[in-house]
Amino acid sequence: MRSKFAFLSLFALSHFSSHAFAQTASISNSNQTISLNNTDTSLQGTSATPTSGASAGTTTAAAACPSLIERREWRTLDDDEKANYINAVLCLQSLPPADKTNTVAKSRFDEFQGVHISSADSVHLVGQFLPWHRYYLLRYETALREECYYEGGTPYWDWTIEADSEDSLLSAPVFDAESGFGGEGVPGTYTPPDDPTGENRIFPEAFHGCVQDGPFANLTLHYGPGKYITDHCLTRGVNDTMKEFLNSAAVANATAQPNFELFRIEVEGEPVTPTHKVHDGGHIGIGGEMSNFYSSPGDPLFFLHHANLDRIWRSWQMSTPSRLFEVTGRSTVDPPYTNITLDFILDVQTLGPAVAIRDIMDIQSSPGCYTYV
């Protein structure tokens, strides 16, 4: 049985109410891979000794990569590259699920959402939060590339650009109806199901309505919101009060932390957090499906938000050589607690093989083989 404290966890639920809520064309794209000679390889192929309080164990180098996939900021992609990525996501939404025993998922895209729903309680507010989501994104990127012939890497949205400005989050190119992911939910077009016990963590004020423009205007989600199984539209509810948790100062505060656990807490928070953190800011800032603890990957923007979080973690890792393999933290929200190590297994269920945390700590080694530019 989950403790009451675990219930007040992600998206700073104890603080949430204090904020007002305001088929595919084939387009060619250049292969976004680069040789190792063109990237920062200062930590490539090295071993590192974890700092005090970090995971113990061997940290021998993983297999080297012949080339690295570039993950780039969305606004730096040209129109063809943006279309190529959107088309790959639409492709994933049209493919049948790989797990034939899954009676809810109607597509490969649904499968990714379903795995997050069933995993959420065990991969948030714990030491494996960042490693698990890094591997989850890698499996998504692999599916786009191998099953939908996408040639690039997962783009990220650097929301600090909008958060540092006077402009709304909606001014970001990711919300463009022509070259992005569509815009705000239309008020009055969706009413979320009741959640009388709070078990599904549904906050009606975060659901402004259905997205009715852009490439996902006709998307039907089969999972969510929360743990409900309902057919519904993609919803959003953009909330600019979250900008203070997404600006450069918030990110700098996180990356200034001296060890992994303090860094993770500034990114994600603790089971009972008196204020929002960076991770919350992106989810609640986009709102709608993205505001939900369980079903947030139903919005394709989930993957751009988490790619940016992964990029920030990579930056923190690279700031000091000993941080490349530094990981620690409790393995569960509820007691009894154990400390995770590099040998802790990351399980993404039907999305790919289970791997140890050590295998994904260095993104420039296999199976990662990607870099941020």
C-alpha dihedral sign at 108, 116, 269, 8: positive
Q: What is the pLDDT of residues 255-286, one digit of tens each?
A: 999 999 999 999 999 887 789 999 999 999 99
What are φ and ψ of residue 147, in 5° steps? -105, -25
The pLDDT score that the predictor gives to residue 272 is 79
- pLDDT, position 20: 31
Residue numbers of the chain with a pLDDT score lower than 70: 1-62
Cis-peptide, bond into residue 353, ω within 30° of zero: no
Rounded-to-integer distance, Cα 108 and Cα 255, Å: 34
State the pLDDT at residue 271.
Answer: 85
Distances in whole angstroms, Cα of residue 6 to Cα of each of 76, 173, 196, 332: 39, 35, 17, 10
As a residue count, the chain comes to 373
Let me know if domain 73-372 sits in CATH 1.10.1280.10. Answer: yes
How far is residue 290's CA from residue 226's CA, in Å, rounded to a whole number?
A: 10
| 83 to 32, 313, 362: CA distances (angstroms) | 14, 28, 30
Q: Is the Cα dihedral 72, 249, 55, 57 positive or negative?
A: positive
Q: Measured between alpha carbons, how far is 105 from 157 in angstroms, rounded to an integer? A: 27
- How far is the CA of 275 from the CAs of 242, 284, 302, 332, in angstroms? 11, 13, 21, 21
pLDDT of residue 62: 66
pLDDT at residue number 259? 98
- Quote the pTM value: 0.86
pLDDT digits (tens, 9 = 90+) for 62-83: 688 999 999 999 999 999 999 9
Reported in sequence order, the residue ranges of the chain that DSSP labels E, i.e. its strands, are: 33-34, 68-71, 185-187, 209-211, 220-221, 232-233, 235-236, 345-346, 355-356, 370-372
CA-CA distances (angstroms) from residue 62 to 26, 58, 364?
35, 11, 9
Structure tokens given for 47: 């071993």
